[in-house]
Amino acid sequence: MKVDTRKQVTVFGGSGFLGRYVVHALAQRGHRIRVACRRPDLAYHLQIAGRLGQIQAIQANLRHPWSVGRALEGSDHAVNLVGILSESGAQTFSALQTEGAGHVAEAAAKAGIGLVHVSAIGADPNSPSLYARSKAEGEARVLSAVPGAVILRPSLVFGAEDQFFNRFADMARLSPVLPLIGGGQTRFQPVFVNDVARAVAGAVDGEVAGGRIYELGGPEAMSFRALMEEMLRVIERRRRFVSIPVGLAASLAGWLKALPGAPLTPDQVVQLQIDNVVSDAAKAEGRTFEAFGIAPRTLDAVLPTYLVRFRPQGQFTKPQPHDDRPAEDESIA
């Protein structure tokens, strides 16, 4: 299929973790990018991802439809990456992931342009998780307004700036134990951020059929515990695992949610009980990385490139023989 080039693409949420990689991938393809975000002053670092004048940061807020419409003026395509893992003030799941997604889709429909919407594996209107329900409702609004939109559902996204492996590796530097909610049996299919960005850019260029939901997972489906074990192997540290019953975790989360930057919320406890992997239906129908011609990278190939700083002596830590002994477990009744 012939690839369009040199479009004007507005990227909502382009200043975030995934956004910086999407902006770079689009710039490499020759597009002009308008980064729409609440704080344009926090997006200036993106300008070096392209040529002089190729990337512009502007103010927009998904809670205000007029600002969304203004951000799309003169654009040929829209990309919506906006999403949150926990709520804070007016930044709620409903306001951003449902209503906000609808505002972007309606503005794109009015402008007559294409749309790529990034959701998440696990989006389900019947989910017990408010996060997952808001994602599913956002998808429904997108397809209602722009039937030809491309929706991407990545699993756990990892990369140099992620808030998953970096957070637990930092915890392992100081703590002798790591928590496993419900024993850490929930499965994930971690996907490299740059692979997701390449898929977004491919969707903008029309490399896949519209009106479909694509599920993006890495080559390995692993339990939460296995992810922690892999992280510890990379940073060359041994730690005990403490299994926390789901009920106790939910109670703790109820207290922790009031803290600034809460490390755990009740809704996240719910999410941690649901597998986050590519569905059999998506595999059978080719709605995966296969449709983009992308071979996703493994954890083993990427984690050492940015977690090395958490080793005892950082990059100067002498390589140790691999320790096959299982991590010791404790549990809280």
Q: Which residue from 176, 170, 175 is spatially nearest to 310, judged by alpha carbons? A: 170
Q: How many CB atoms lie within 10 A of CB 130?
A: 18
User: How many domains does one find in the chain?
Assistant: 1
Q: Mark out the alpha helices in 236-326 (DSSP H runs).
A: 246-256, 266-271, 280-284, 299-307
- Confirm whether 275 is domain-assigned: no
For the segment 241-266, the average pLDDT, to the nearest whole number, is 84
* Per-residue pLDDT at 192: 98
Residue 110 DSSP one-character state: H
Q: Which amino acid is at 87?
A: E
Q: Which residues contact 143 (CB under 8 A, 6 or more apart)?
A: 149, 151, 211
Element (H, E) at 134: helix 130-145
pLDDT at 297 exceeding the cut of 60 = yes
Residue 256's pLDDT band (boundaries 50, 70, 90)? confident
* Order of all β-strands in the sheet with 150-154: 55-59, 32-37, 8-12, 77-80, 114-118, 150-154, 212-216
Question: Is 60 exceeded by the pLDDT of residue 4?
Answer: no
Indicate whether 41 belongs to any domain.
yes
The two tokens of residue 73 are: 């003026």
Distance CA 44, CA 38 (A): 13
| 44-62 pLDDT per residue, tens | 899 889 999 999 999 999 9
With CA atoms as reference, report the closest residue to 274 among 118, 101, 164, 155. Answer: 155
Q: Is residue 286 part of a domain?
A: no
Q: What is the CATH number of the domain that holds 30?
A: 3.40.50.720
Residue labelled with tokens 């794109």: 108
**Residues near 97 by beta carbon (within 8 Å), at least 6 away in sequence:** 82, 83, 84, 131, 134, 135, 137, 138
pLDDT tens readout for residues 193-251: 999 999 999 999 999 999 999 999 999 999 999 999 999 999 999 999 999 999 999 99
What residue type is 233 in one-letter code? R
Residue 314's pLDDT is what?
A: 84
Top mean-pLDDT range of 219-223, 267-271, 324-328: 219-223
H/E element holding 39? none
Do 220 and 299 form a contact (C-beta atoms < 8 A)?
A: yes
Per-chain mean pLDDT for the chain? 93
- At CA 236, angle to CA 231 and CA 238, rounded to 5? 80
Torsion angles phi and psi, residue 204, rounded to 5: -60, -40
Residue type, 257: K
Local structure of residue 166 (DSSP, 8 states): H
> Is there a domain that residue 83 lies in?
yes
pLDDT score recorded for residue 88: 85
Strand residue runs (E) in the chain: 8-12, 32-37, 55-59, 77-80, 114-118, 150-154, 157-158, 177-181, 187-188, 191-192, 212-216, 222-223, 240-244, 329-331
Q: What is the dihedral of CA 135, 137, 140, 141, to 10 degrees?
A: -100
DSSP SS3 for 259: coil
Range of the domain at 43: 8-161+189-216
Report if residue 291 sits inside a domain. Answer: no
Cα(287)–Cα(304) distance, rounded to whole angstroms? 30
- Is residue 209 a part of any domain in this protein? yes
User: Residue 36 phi/psi, 5° resolution?
Assistant: -100, 120
- Count the neighbouring beta carbons within 10 Å of the beta carbon of residue 142: 26
In a domain, 284, yes or no: no
Tens digits of residue pLDDT in 83-127: 999 888 889 999 999 999 999 999 999 999 999 999 999 999 999
Kindly state whether residue 184 falls inside one of the protein's structural domains.
no
Q: How far apart are CA 251 and CA 254, in angstroms?
A: 5
Share of the chain above pLDDT 70, in %: 92
Amino acid letter at 264? L
